A and B are shown apart, each in its own frame.
Chain A
Amino acid sequence: MQNDYILNAFQAYVDTIIPRTPGLAEVYGYIQYYGALDLQVDQFLLYNFEHVSMSSAELAALLLNAAAVQWLVNQGYEGRGSLDLLPPSDRLSAIMLLELQQMDPRLLSEEFLNDPGLMVMLTDTLLYYTLQGYYSEWAGYGTTRLNPPQERVLEYFPLSWEQVGYPGPSLGYRVLRTVDIS
């Protein structure tokens, strides 16, 4: 399967979980505009899904698109669909069908029917990777971010850390308090 198919699904997913937010930017400053697509978190998903013992990037993408089809069916539509072709405002509702395991098994490929835990595992993992990819230091690896882990070098201070006010790793903080709690 083409990486494009997988990346389209992953891009639609990460953009739903951590979108660009012009509204927040207006209130709190421009740094708050950027979202998961700006940090290419879809590539983090692809890398990690491809580096487990049973590569599951394709299955995860199939699952996301099956959720889109399920959502369309639930709205009374028929036919084919994919997460990236749903309007952004409806994508979270489609993903919710996975979170709540409200999928019609007939819309799922064979792998999911043979392994009842697979959908739960992939659904949990998609979100875990998205939050890790965005809020950890990963994006700061810049041009080395898709290298093998031993060959990554921190090139930038991650934009997401700026958004949340995390100063980055430290050797110590002068924050000891003297409080009698007894």
Chain B
Amino acid sequence: MNENYDADVIVIGAGGGGAVVAKELAEKGVKVLILEAGPWYGNAKWPNPNSEHGADASSNYEDLSIDILKKCFTDLENDMNDLVTGKLRWGPADRNRPPWTRKGGFVWQNAGVGGTTLHYFANSPRAFPQAINNIWPISYEELIPYYERVEGQLPVHEAPVTPKEEMFYYGAKKAGWQSGCGPNLTQPCYRQQYNAILEVNPRINDPDFDIQNNSGVGCTLRGHCVNGCHIGPTVEAVAKRSTLVSYIPRALATGNVQVRPNAFVIKILTVEDSERGERATGVIYKDTWTGASTQLNAKVVVMSAGGIETPRLWLNSQLPQNPWVGKGLTNHWFDTVSGIFDEKVVMDVLGVSDIWPYAGQNSAGRLDIPGLGVMITMGMSPGIFATLNYGTSSSGFSSLLTPNTEAAWNVEGLVAGEQLKEFMREYRRTLSLLLFIDDDVSQSNEVVLDPNQMDEYGYIPVIHYQPSEQDVAKREQIATYAAELLRAAGARTVTRANWPAELFIHIMSTMRIGYVVDTNCEAYQVKSLFIADNSVLYNGIGGPNPTLTTQAMATRTADKIWDIYFKQ
């Protein structure tokens, strides 16, 4: 490493993409420094990550501590996921301080080592080939070896079946959908999730298996994927494969990676090179506890701050103008449809009395419909369950609406009052489906800076997202399919939320390949500056959950960085 550098490569963000690019480069011998804005859970250098600053950095695999992780991840949904005070919020480690502000809607992201994979469901399907081939500047076939590398590394498995998935598959079959399809999907198909969760502990159903004192490896179907998984004997063996427990430990094991949590990057530094034009030379970050600024230099900088913060950082750094920076946002525009079942029906189909939305992985079954979108099973603890199914809608309160007798569902919109309590009383026999669509790319869907409002890290991001007419039609169609599936399974009451557009979960394509970055994911206008997160996706990949594709792209980008800047 050149002695003027603090690292060969600085990676901004230790989430789904940044941790991957760091590990892949470090294994080739490149010295990598990761700067992460949020806390680090499960590291001996931060025994109390939410109440003390702790150390500045960790670069030692031996620092990882499963005991600290288990202490931090309490399985309690408000403690973990509250948008204001939760440990997995978008905000600083110090929970007495407010979360970081965005405008334009709710953004469900996590700050911390692991990023939003800390609370993701770990669904890891590949893109639909038809959304890539002849559309992206690279082909689906070129992605396949990178998918395979990530699938092997995480690893990715077929998800287990528990009662809620069995009811879903029963309904899908009765509704006429086909099953039996591989990972490269071209036709509608229902299937077990491919997810990044270790296989189920083989003794789980054995009455003699001691769940309370289990120190084995494997998922225990306890339903806390979203609240932060800590099941496993070591950090690296935790069942749900957030990058906190998969790529970060592997990166540390190389001896070539240092991670600094609580480090919010506020500026990309560049110089004008007479031969090559503008090029990145380093970053400035602020310590989120002390506010102190630090400048660091490197040969290459990788932005992996996510679909909102990456364009925000570009704009706040006053990097060159580009009409597609922050533009082209896709978000899959989600919705939920749920079915409440009578006990007799559940008994007849499953042989047990309940569907148990809180038991099993949060999402283990899916129906993919290329050209339209995706529906997945979703079982959650009651606070999140109530919010997503009955408390998120642009229709208003269902009890005040004129019933739509043409609709495939009985109830649409917000549920309140006695009806809410009546529905929640049947929580244990409710099967929820989370839907998301293949939404169009539009340049007017964007992340921009608020012209006036700043926080300590610069002008805050504002999101504008308006679905197209085609998006509206797709979502109505998939909601209808979901309701029909639940009816076919025997649901007595089917509810549809009709989520507003301003709720953001899969934030993608705001720094698109072919527009902002070249096919190596290096910025066209700033050399030595790469992007490895959801923002480089060309589109919403047809509807599937984007993390695996982002991780495949990050693996590929690491190879490209090596080839261009480090290979001798």
Interface residues of A (CB under 8 A from B): 16-19, 21, 23-24, 28, 32, 35, 48, 51-54, 92-93, 95-96, 99-100, 117, 120-121, 124, 127-128, 130-132, 134-138, 148-150, 152, 154, 160-161, 163-167, 169-179, 181-182
Partner of A182, one of B86, B180, B207, B418: B180
Compute how far the CA of A36 lies from the CA of B425 in the bound complex, rounded to whole angstroms: 15
Partner of B387, one of A23, A51, A95, A128: A128
Q: Of the 9-residue stretches B72-80, B265-273, B287-295, B466-474, which lies at the interface with chain A?
A: B72-80
Q: Return B376 CB to nearest CB of chain A, in Å.
A: 14
Interface residues of B (CB under 8 A from A): 50-51, 74-79, 82-86, 95-96, 98-101, 103-106, 160-163, 165-166, 169, 173, 179-180, 190-192, 200-201, 204-207, 209, 211-212, 214, 220-224, 227, 231, 354, 356, 358-360, 381-387, 390-393, 396-397, 399-400, 414, 416-418, 420-422, 424-425, 427-428, 455, 500, 502
Q: Return A157 CB to nearest CB of chain B, in Å.
A: 12
Q: Tell me whether B162 and A166 are in contact (CB under 8 A).
A: no
Q: Which of A17, A21, A173, A174 has the most C-beta atoms of chain B within 10 angstroms of its own C-beta?
A: A173
Q: Return B288 CB to nearest CB of chain A, in Å.
A: 14
Q: Return B523 CB to nearest CB of chain A, in Å.
A: 30
| Residues in B neighbouring A164, C-beta threshold 8 A | 382, 424-425, 427-428
Q: Tell me whether A163 and B416 are in contact (CB under 8 A).
A: no
Q: Tell me whether B382 and A171 are in contact (CB under 8 A).
A: no
Compute how far the CA of A112 lies from the CA of B500 in the bound complex, rounded to whole angstroms: 20
Compute how far the CA of A166 lies from the CA of B384 in the bound complex, rounded to whole angstroms: 13
Interface of B is mostly: loop
| Residues in A neighbouring B105, C-beta threshold 8 A | 117, 121
| Residues in B neighbouring A165, C-beta threshold 8 A | 354, 425, 427-428
Q: Tell me whether B359 and A128 are in contact (CB under 8 A).
A: no
Compute how far the CA of A52 lies from the CA of B95 in the bound complex, rounded to whole angstroms: 11
Q: 9 A-B pairs, CB-CB below 8 angstroms? A: A96-B400, A124-B106, A128-B391, A135-B385, A149-B82, A150-B95, A160-B382, A174-B211, A182-B191
Compute how far the CA of A39 lies from the CA of B70 in the bound complex, rounded to whole angstroms: 28
Partner of A51, one of B98, B180, B204: B98
Q: Return B87 CB to nearest CB of chain A, in Å.
A: 8
* A152 nearest in chain B by CB position: B79
Q: Tell me whether A131 and B387 are in contact (CB under 8 A).
A: yes
Q: Tell me whether A170 and B387 are in contact (CB under 8 A).
A: no
A99 with B397, Cβ < 8 A, contacts A18-B420, A128-B387 known: yes
Partner of B82, one of A124, A132, A160: A132
